[in-house]
Structure 1
C-alpha cells in the first residue's frame, strides 16, 4: 500500500470538502424547487377560495336585497290599512 504524503492528504480533504459542498447545493436546489411547487399550489388554492368567497358574498347580497324588498312591501301594506 502506498502511503499518502501530507500533500496527498490535504488534496483529499479539499476534494472531499468540495464534493460535500456540491452535494449540499444539489439538495438545496431540490428543496427550493419543492418549496416553489408548494407555493404555487398554495396560490392556486387561495385563488379558488377567493372566488368561492366572492360568490358567497354575492349570493348573500342578493338574499339581503330580497329580504329588504319583502320587508318594505309588508310595511307598505300595513300603512295602507
Structure 2
C-alpha cells in the first residue's frame, strides 16, 4: 500500500488557493484557481529546511508567474471549447 498523502499547510494568497502536501518523498505544491490547478513536485531531499524552505520557493515572482499561467490555461481551455462549438 502506498504511503498516505499528508496535508502540511494551507498558504494564504489573494488570487489562488495554495496547499502544501507531503507524499512519497516529495513536497507537492498545489495551486488552484477556479476549475484549474497547477501542481509542482519537489523532492524532500532537495530541501534540507523542510516545509519552511518550501515556502521560500513561493516568492512573489513565482506566484505572479503561476497566476499568469492560470490566465493562459483558461484561455487555452476556452479556445478548445470554441473550436469544438461546446
Q: Same fold (TM over 0.5)?
A: no
Higher relative contact order (CA 8 A, sep 6+): 2
- TM-score tier by shorter-chain length is 0.3 to 0.5
Q: Which has the larger radius of gyration?
A: 1
Q: Which has the higher helix share?
A: 1
TM (norm. structure 1) is 0.34
TM (norm. structure 2) is 0.32
